[in-house]
Amino acid sequence: LLYWTRSSKPKSTLESPLGNQYPRHSYAELLQATNGFSPANLIGGGRYSSVYKGVLNNGEQIVAVKVLNLQQRGAKKSFMFECEALRNIRHRNIIKIITSCS
């Protein structure tokens, strides 16, 4: 799982699998934030993943939660390329990766 937000600064600083200091959220928190990954919260999807709208911190933070379909061959490789590209791009219309969890 991977989620994004347009929030300016993270409130917590714990070690993330992405290697930098980012807030951590459990799968249970993301499940609750997206209402159980409800189809009503589905923003979009593709071959390798689906993206859901979620609300964290008692409605204070709207996030996009990307759920990878690891049963698809190439999903992990595609995810790694996407993370690398997003890590190196700065643009006002591209959202920032906040953290990841598995």
- What is the average pLDDT score of the chain? 78
Please tell me whether the overall predicted TM-score, pTM, comes out greater than 0.75 for this model: no
Would you say residue 43 has pLDDT above 90? Answer: yes
Higher pLDDT, 77 or 88: 77
Counting Cα atoms < 13 Å in the Cβ hemisphere of 34 gives: 25
Per-residue pLDDT, 21: 56
Radius of gyration of the chain (CA): 13
Average pLDDT over residues 19-32: 78
User: Does the annotation flag 66 for ligand binding?
Assistant: yes
Q: Domain 2-100 falls in which CATH fold?
A: Phosphorylase Kinase; domain 1 (3.30.200)
SS3 content of the chain, % helix, strand, coil (to 5): 25, 30, 45
- Measured in degrees and rounded to the nearest 5, phi and psi for residue 29 equal -65, -40
| Domain boundaries defined on the chain | 2-100
The kind and range of the H/E element at 89 are: none
